[in-house]
Amino acid sequence: MNDEAAIPVTVASDSHLGEFFVLRPSFRGNGQSAGLKIANEELLLPPGMNTMDPPNGDPSQYPVRPHLVQVPGQQEMPRDFEKLAGIWIVSAALKQVFESVDPEGFAFAACDFTLADGTQGPQYYLCSVTRWLDALDESESRVQIEIEHDYETGEDLNFYSVPGGASLVFKREVVGNAHIFRQSRLGTEAICDRVLFDALSAAQLSGPSLRDAADL
């Protein structure tokens, strides 16, 4: 694919505030990390690849159970929501919230977890959002658009960029009853609606960051 053009879409409205949110693990301060590593990562790599795929819902995806280990010297326990090697790591409590709101929107893989002192830690899961939608309302959003040509299909595709600020509005008729999804060709984390936002806020778990998609 090759970039052909960059077009700013400049229409946005405060009336869409509070509808959808970008969900991701919050950044830790002072350069801190989650203090975790995947001890058996090499056994979890797809053939010929050097990075892990996030869970896809297939029970046979990983040949062995992922094994999280706490980095020696790490004093703090992982939060309910972390990110490691580009993959979400969630606690049992956060998994319960996700599944209670939108059980079809996520995939999970249970992990073994060994603490720095060698004892068994609490249950954590690899997690991914498996629902992809093309729901962005370009006419109502303010977002940078780059047009790229797909030489395999012959189509021109719009790719969306949010660095520098954006206001993202999504089509309700496309989102439907989904409470979590990833927007195709958009360089952000997952998008959730007000229902999941309220559930996460009520749960008061550590780690989730929720930013209004209409005011990025």
What is the reported pLDDT for 190? 96
Q: What is the C-alpha separation between 200 and 184, in angstroms, rounded? A: 24
Range from 18-32, 89-103, 199-213 carrying the lowest mean pLDDT: 18-32
User: Does pLDDT of 104 surpass 80?
Assistant: yes
CB 141 within 8 A of CB 11: yes
Q: Is the pLDDT of residue 10 over 70?
A: no
**Choice between 157 and 75, residue whose per-residue pLDDT is larger:** 157
Distance CA 44, CA 91 (A): 20
pLDDT score of 192 more than 80: yes
| pLDDT at residue 30, rounded to an integer | 66
Q: Residue range 99-126: average pLDDT?
A: 97
Question: What are the residue ranges spanned by the domains of the chain?
Answer: 2-25+132-212, 36-129
Across the strands, what pairs with 192? 21, 180
Q: pLDDT per residue over 27-44, tens digit each?
A: 887 667 789 999 999 999
Mean pLDDT of the chain, nearest integer: 90
- pTM of the shown model: 0.88
Region 52-62: mean pLDDT is 96
| β-strand pairing of 67-70 with 106-114 | parallel
Q: Where do we find the tokens 């790599």?
A: 45
* Triad 58, 61, 67: Cα angle to 5°: 120
Mean pLDDT for the stretch of residues 195-211: 97
Secondary structure (H, E, C), 22-71: EEEECCCCCCCCCCEEECCHHHHCCCCCCCCCCCCCCCCCCCCCCEEEEC
Banded pLDDT at 23 (limits 50, 70, 90): very high
**How much is the pLDDT for 14?**
65
- Cα(87)–Cα(144) distance, integer angstroms: 26
Per-residue pLDDT at 57 exceeds 50 = yes
Contact 207, 82 (CB under 8 A): yes
